[in-house]
Structure 1
Amino acid sequence: MSLSASLSNAMSGLTASSRAAEVVSSNVANAMTEGYARREINLAALSLGGAGKGVVVTGINRVVNQSLLADRRVAEAGVGDRDARTAFLQRLESTLGTSDSASSVLGRVAAFDSALIEASSRPESEARLSNVLVAAQSLASGINAASTDIQAARASADDQIETEVATLNAGLARIAELNVQIRAQFGVSRDATALMDQRQQLVDQLASIVPLREVDRGHNQIALYTTGGIQLLDGRAAVIEFTPVGVVTPDMTLASGSLSGLTLNGRSLPTSGAASMIGGGSLAAHFAVRDELAPAAQTKLDAVARDLVERFADPAIDTTRAPGDPGLFTDAGSAFVATDEVGLSQRLALNGAVDPAQGGALWRLRDGMGAVAPGLSGNSALLSSLQTALAAPRAPVSGGFMPGARSFSSLNADVISGVSTARLGAEAESSFATARATALQQQELENGVDTDQEMQKLLLIEQAYSANARVIQTAGDMIDILMGI
């Protein structure tokens, strides 16, 4: 082998060793960087006319376990879904309060019941009648507040949907741009692995919103589909559209058209049920909160409000009321109409006839809603009847409760118990989903950069570099000797 060939071979070896050292240093430096994939250098023998001409770097590979990556993305989408549902149920339970809390709806029922019992023992006491008024107002306002918070949770979910749709559109557009840039880089034989890392990070972010499946299209290009089969990116990015409403009221539903669904490139997408193709991520969970979980809670609360109104609207309890007049509790001051139950819990109000602040009189709690003048101050019949009506077993006529008569307190206890049970179940599912995602992340890290192994590679690279440098030095010495002859 000629001296020039030896020098050429050694120079190519130095170049390859330098590039390999750069790859190792990048691996070590980014061992804990999220979205970074371990690099491996590809080398090939260079020959010309059958004679060896050294070594050439043919490319840098990103080492990614695509199967594990796909499983981890689905798991993280599951975490997003479970966390959003759990957060709503925790909020709902906090709003309704626990059974041992005096400020809960159940605690207010107990306070109202006690006030009625105390007032019936001394019906002439204005202070005790005032306590009944305050307890009744507190009960109504507690149910109002719970209903208002449920609608606030729906509005918050609507806002979250808007935010996540914007994130999806921006992310898909950016991934499409990265696809083009990566192809251009490889077209001129440049290293595009950093761009591929950015693309993976973006896909990971979007995968928690909607579970994604990545499809290799060759030439380092990818397409993205939801696990339900919707194409989000294949060359061009799809455009997802959603129209937020700002304020949500109990009567607003997706079916009625008062709430927005999703469209993909102008085509409507189902957002819930078995037909949904976006299920499994946080976006689907926000739709579930807005269109399923919160409306179901509202239905229960409206049924509770209806039960309360109808318990005290019985004509046999208060004979002073004219037919059609409301009882102690009203629908925004009017008599309740059975066909207008939706949102009743938000409109529930105390009869103004017993409220001095509304021009009423406390003594009507003792003498009747329709009484025109105070009666006998020692007459406790109406107060006792009111307390009996509150505690009497009665079968709820709406709300989807299990069959059976129960007191108003027991009805509220059933609602709170149902929410607590659902919350515990959601937390258990969330914990399982988080544990699964964490385990897959750990496996992915184990398949990532091993710094010990990288250090071993660096020692071998150093030896190769020294060997090539020694060849160049020897060739230089030989040239010096030849020049000195």
Structure 2
Amino acid sequence: MSISGAFANARSGLTLNARAAELVSSNIANALTPNHARQEIVAKTMRTGGVDSGQVVRASDAVAMAAKLSTSAQAAAARTTSQGRVQIANLLGSADGSSGLAPSLNAFGVALSQASVSPENHAGLEAVLSAAHDVTEDLNVAATGLRDLRNDADASIAQRTSQINEGLLSIDDLNAQIVTAMSRRQDTAALQQQREGHILELSQHIPVSVVNRQDGRVALFSERGATLLDGAPATFAFEASGVVGDDATIVDGTVGGITMNGLPMDGGSAGLLSGGGLSADFDMRDVIVPEAQTSLDDIAGALLARLDAADTSLGPGEGGILTDGISAYDPSRTTGLASRVRVNPGFEDPSGLREKLNSGLGSLPGPDTGVLGALTAALTRQDPDLSASGDLSRRDIAGHASAISSGLHVAAYRAEESSTQAAAKSLSAETNHAQSVGVDSDLQLQKLLQIENAYAANARVIATADAMMQRLLEL
């Protein structure tokens, strides 16, 4: 080898060592940065001798990445469902049964029972009115809360749809930048890092599968087969309803579904995009919350039906102590009933209540054997009021409310367990991916020592070659 060749080889080695040292220091600096993959130089021997500084390559593990994306979507879906179910359960009552609709119904029954013992007692009738207002307030507040949850889910779907479109456009733009950089033999590691970050964000909404193309691009598909990005990004659209009616369903078109490239998605609300946070929001809006609304309306209907049937003083079409808005209870209008239940304005003061319940002003003291007693018996009677909803159990009205509240809390507890398990799986997959492609500081420090030794060796070659040149020049 000539002296000039030795110079060239050693200089190329120094250049490679310098770049490698820079990457090692960058890796160590980003060792704790989430989703950072280590970067390495792939050296290549040149025909003329020496080494090409090569290309910077990000560590990758397709299998670990696929697991990370899949579990990320599952965790997002489970978290959304869990949060929604907990909110629903709390709207109908506390987990220990100390507050909520069931205790209010119990208190209403107790107030009626005590008033029936001394119907001439003004304070007792006031207690009945106060308890009745508590019941209607609990029904109204729960109904409003459920309606808000449904509206929130609808708004979240719109927000997620916008984020999906923005994410796909960003990934497509980075695809183009990577292709251009590769054609110019420029490093693409930083661009790939950005692209992977957008893909991870996308997986919060949709379970994503990644396919690497030969030119450096990636194609994205949902786990159910929808093409999200392959050459050009798909465009999704969703029109938020603003206010979702109690009787609105996706089947009759009163709430919207998502479209892909202008066409409705097949296979349900989220269609081929099911499995992530987006489909969980659809489930909240179209299934979970409506089921809770139906249960609440059933309780309200059973309550009004019992009270009206017990009040023999009512004429045709006349409302009892509780009414559907300003109207008498109509069994054919139960949708949204819980939000409309009111105390009958004619019962709004104790004197009016006494007159309406046929106790009579100035009546003789003693137990009431008329309407007050009948109302008390109606609330405590063990009936299968919710048989239309599939519940054949015979309970008093507070028992029905307690059973529904307990069922919702059990569902919330199970959803929380599922969310915890999904989060643990996601964390495990993230850890496995980090161990596969992340930075091991100890190994990086060892590599830095190797680079230092190689740098010193190349420097000695240059020093030796320089000494030889000086010796030749002295001859």
TM-score clears 0.5: yes
Q: Does 1:305 align with 2:293?
A: no
TM-score, normalised by the number of residues in structure 1: 0.94
With over 3 angstroms needed to count, the CA separation of the structure-2 counterparts of 1:399 and 1:343, relative to structure 1, is farther
Within the candidate set 81, 86, 103, 2:82 is matched to 86
CA contact (8 A) 2:11 2:458 kept: yes
Question: 1:221, CA displacement in angstroms?
Answer: 0.7
Aligned-partner residue type, residue 13 of structure 1: G
Q: What is the Cα-based RMSD across aligned positions, in Å?
A: 1.8
Within the candidate set 410, 433, 443, 1:421 is matched to 410
Give the Cα separation in 1 of the matches to 2:295 and 2:266: 26
Within the candidate set 394, 417, 421, 1:405 is matched to 394
CA offsets, 1:142-165, max 9 Å, x none?
Answer: 111101100000111111111111
Give the gaps of 5 or more residues in structure 2.
none
Give the Cα separation in 2 of the matches to 1:480 and 1:472: 12
Q: Does 1:208 align with 2:226?
A: no
Give the Cα separation in 2 of the matches to 1:99 and 1:450: 46
Give structure 1 regions of 4+ aligned residues with deviation exceeding 3 angstroms. 99-103, 270-273
- Per the alignment, residue 252 of structure 1 pairs with 248
Q: Does 1:441 align with 2:434?
A: no
Within the candidate set 131, 136, 147, 1:135 is matched to 131
CA contact (8 A) 2:179 2:216 kept: yes
Partner-residue secondary structure (3-state), 1:42 = strand
Q: Does 1:380 align with 2:368?
A: yes
Give the Cα separation in 1 of the matches to 2:299 and 2:162: 38
Within the candidate set 333, 345, 361, 2:352 is matched to 361
- Per the alignment, residue 468 of structure 1 pairs with 458
CA contact (8 A) 1:356 1:362 kept: yes
With over 3 angstroms needed to count, the CA separation of the structure-2 counterparts of 1:467 and 1:479, relative to structure 1, is same
- Per the alignment, residue 17 of structure 1 pairs with 17
With over 3 angstroms needed to count, the CA separation of the structure-2 counterparts of 1:162 and 1:389, relative to structure 1, is same
CA contact (8 A) 1:298 1:343 kept: yes
Question: 1:227, CA displacement in angstroms?
Answer: 0.5
Question: 1:399, CA displacement in angstroms?
Answer: 5.6
Partner-residue secondary structure (3-state), 1:393 = coil
After the TM superposition, which of the residue ranges 27-36 and 463-472 deviates more from structure 2? 27-36
Give the Cα separation in 1 of the matches to 2:284 and 2:111: 37
- Per the alignment, residue 276 of structure 2 pairs with 281
Identity across the alignment (%): 34
Question: 1:58, CA displacement in angstroms?
Answer: 2.8
Q: Does 1:182 align with 2:143?
A: no
With over 3 angstroms needed to count, the CA separation of the structure-2 counterparts of 1:406 and 1:426, relative to structure 1, is same
Partner-residue secondary structure (3-state), 1:338 = coil
Equivalent residues in 2 for 1:157-168 (5 A)? 157-168=153-164
CA contact (8 A) 1:72 1:437 kept: yes
Equivalent residues in 2 for 1:230-249 (5 A)? 230-249=226-245
TM-score, normalised by the number of residues in structure 2: 0.95
Within the candidate set 96, 112, 116, 1:116 is matched to 112
After the TM superposition, which of the residue ranges 122-131 and 263-272 deviates more from structure 2? 263-272
Aligned-partner residue type, residue 12 of structure 1: S
Give the Cα separation in 2 of the matches to 1:277 and 1:424: 28
Higher relative contact order (CA 8 A, sep 6+): 2
Question: 1:397, CA displacement in angstroms?
Answer: 4.7
CA contact (8 A) 2:300 2:341 kept: yes
With over 3 angstroms needed to count, the CA separation of the structure-2 counterparts of 1:163 and 1:377, relative to structure 1, is farther
CA contact (8 A) 2:101 2:135 kept: yes
Q: Does 1:29 align with 2:29?
A: yes
Question: 1:73, CA displacement in angstroms?
Answer: 1.1
CA offsets, 1:232-264, max 9 Å, x none?
Answer: 111111111011122222122222222111001
Give the Cα separation in 2 of the matches to 1:436 and 1:459: 37
Give the Cα separation in 2 of the matches to 1:321 and 1:376: 20
Partner-residue secondary structure (3-state), 1:339 = coil
CA contact (8 A) 1:35 1:198 kept: no
Question: 1:59, CA displacement in angstroms?
Answer: 1.4
CA contact (8 A) 1:169 1:240 kept: yes
Aligned-partner residue type, residue 380 of structure 1: D
Give the Cα separation in 1 of the matches to 2:54 and 2:153: 50
Give the Cα separation in 1 of the matches to 2:106 and 2:251: 38
Question: 1:40, CA displacement in angstroms?
Answer: 2.0
CA contact (8 A) 1:102 1:108 kept: no
CA contact (8 A) 1:17 1:465 kept: yes
